[in-house]
Amino acid sequence: MKLRRAVEVGVRHFVLCAASLVVLVPIAYVVIASFKTIPDFFANPYGLPEEWAWQNYVSAWRDARISITLTNSIIVTATAVSVSTFLAALISYGLSRRERPLAMFLYTFFVSGLLIPVQMIILPLFVLLRQFGLLGTLFALICPYIAMGLPLGVLILTPLIATLPRDLSDAGRIDGASELQIFLHIILPVLRPGLASVVILNGVWMWNEFFIPLVLALKADTQTLPVGIMSFVGTYNTEWGLIFASVVIATAPVVIAYILMSRQFVAGLTAGAVKG
């Protein structure tokens, strides 16, 4: 019995270590490659650099205009995630408190948005934004991100709110609170783990999204970080060291945010799994 348990623990640890290597090895490769020059990269693509080119980060910040594209990415992602998460929570609260047939139809309607690829709607979206005069502005990115972030938020938050006892909202109504006050002061604080999950999942997608800003950000001053990094890819020459340095800079905020919110993220994914 003890031998069997020891084997199970050993196999479990081996699988976890292997999974960790699958994640950590590419990250280590990107960090090491970000310090290489072009000759060093092609001479020894998988080894340590002969001379650590710290200048890559300075050049990446200056030549890819990361100071501008990073600011745009922060503004677009923070605004879109905040508005989308709040609206998704508001919609989910309404769906979880309505009659089941209508609520299920509306829930399916919102969640079905996850099945629509952005390539299918990019042309009508382009025409619509042009008619409103938003092309070439940050609103041309924020508005689609808000709409496209709703399905995932509704998918996660609606089952989570459905598990909350109705006595919480009933107690607020007895005290004279309105539905909006109940939502803001009773429901939202309880939803913090689920909100953190939605923020992380939508935030990572919006931060790394490339196709929408490539098509809708017509001006260089409104481009986001993924589009700015592509400036190092040329027809006859590609600055691989600068690309990897830019990727490290772009990844750092997402990794830091995930580390700070990882506990809430796991709690949010598991909170609505079991009702009882």
Question: If DSSP codes are grouped into helix, strand and coil, which group holds residue 65?
Answer: coil
d(CA 121, CA 134): 17
Report if residue 28 sits inside a domain: no
Per-residue pLDDT, 274: 44
Residue 9 is assigned to a structural domain of this protein:
no
| Residue at token pair 């002969």 | 50
CA separation for the pair 34, 245 (Å, rounded)? 4
Host H or E run for residue 264: helix 240-271
Determine the pLDDT at residue 105.
Answer: 82
CA 163 → CA 45, 92, 110, 271, 274, distances in Å? 52, 12, 20, 9, 8
- The pLDDT, as a whole number, for residue 6 is 81
Q: pLDDT tens digit string along 170-224?
A: 777 777 778 788 888 888 888 888 888 898 889 989 998 889 998 888 887 888 8
- On whether residue 123 sits in a domain, the answer given is yes
Confirm if 41 and 33 have CB atoms less than 8 A apart: yes
Residue 214 included in any domain: yes
Tell me which residue has tokens 């990115």: 141
Is the distance from CB of 212 to CB of 122 less than 8 angstroms?
Answer: yes
Report pTM: 0.78
Question: pLDDT tens digits for 10-34?
Answer: 888 889 899 888 888 888 888 888 8
Render pLDDT for 54-64 as a digit per residue (tens, 0 to 9): 888 888 777 76
Measuring CA to CA, how many Å separate 9 from each of 1, 21, 152, 202? 12, 18, 36, 35
Q: What is the pLDDT of residue 259?
A: 78
Confidence category of residue 232, pLDDT binned at 50, 70, 90:
low
In a domain, 29, yes or no: no
- Condensed to tens digits (0 to 9), the pLDDT of residues 126-180 reads 999 889 888 888 999 999 999 999 999 999 888 888 888 777 777 777 777 787 8
- Answer whether residue 161 is part of any domain: yes
Rounded to 5°, angle at Cα 54 from 53 and 58: 120
Contact 77, 207 (CB under 8 A): yes
How many helices (H) and strands (E) would you count in the chain? 14, 0
Residue 98's pLDDT is 65
And the tokens for 68?
A: 């501008």
Q: Which of 37-41, 89-93, 179-183, 240-244 has the highest mean pLDDT?
A: 89-93
What is the Cα–Cα distance from 80 to 116, expressed in whole angstroms?
19
- How many percent of the chain have pLDDT more than 70? 89
Residue 13 lies in a domain: no
- Rounded Cα distance, 223 and 217, in Å: 6
| Summary mean pLDDT of the chain | 82
Res 273 pLDDT > 90: no
Q: Which residue has the tokens 């309505």?
A: 98
Domain contains 118: yes
Number of structural domains (the chain) is 1
Look up tokens 């598990």; give the residue. 163
Per the structure, the complete domain to which residue 137 belongs is given by: 65-271
CB-based contacts of 139, cutoff 8 Å, min separation 6: none
For residue 238, the 8-state DSSP code is: B
Task: Give the 3-state secondary structure of residue 132.
Answer: coil
**Does 118 have pLDDT greater than 70?**
yes
Write the pLDDT tens digit of every residue in 3-12: 778 878 888 8
